[in-house]
Amino acid sequence: MTIGRSTSGTPRCVALAAWLLLAGSVFSVAQTLLTTVSAGTYPVAVAVNAVTNKVYVANQNSSNVTVIDGATNNTATVLTGAGPMALAVNPVTNKIYVVCGGGVTVIDGATNRTSSVSTGLGPFAVGQRGHQQDLRGRLQCARSNGD
């Protein structure tokens, strides 16, 4: 790959990165903190269901997910498997998939009831398939043990 240079001799990718940093800091000045919502211990991941206006926070050390109502900022706590570390939301089925130590906890977004899916050892990530949500509501789970 060839990286071009600007007229000043600076590589274009460096110039672009500097501009993005500057632009990001200019825009961030205009942001205002509206409120603080408490989550569990050691929050490590967040996912949003834009259809239901719910925010899901995986709390690794408290083995739960904090559910935040985006309209009221009220919270609910949903127990998961040990050490949740990643989340994915399927807005079509209103299911939230939480990667935990030995599998995936599935949260029903309407009731906050849970079920478990065994994935084998070492799950660490979950995400939707391709650019669009799978029409059957399927997501993929990555494992670290090489399977």
pLDDT along the chain (147 residues), means of 10: 44 53 56 83 90 92 93 94 87 88 88 82 59 49 49
Q: Are residues 72 and 115 in the same domain?
A: yes
Q: Are residues 26 and 62 in the same domain?
A: no
In a domain, 125, yes or no: yes
Q: Regarding beta strands 86-90 and 75-79, do their DSSP bridges make them parallel or antiparallel, or are they unpaired?
A: unpaired
In a domain, 52, yes or no: yes
Give the span between the Cα atoms of 36 and 66, in whole angstroms.
13
Q: Are residues 23 and 64 in the same domain?
A: no
User: Torsions phi, psi of 47, nearest 5?
Assistant: -145, 150
pTM, full prediction: 0.68
* Range of the structural domain that residue 57 is part of: 43-143
Summarize pLDDT for 52-70 with one digit per residue, the tens.
Answer: 999 999 998 999 999 999 9
Q: Are residues 86 and 122 in the same domain?
A: yes
Number of domains in the chain: 2
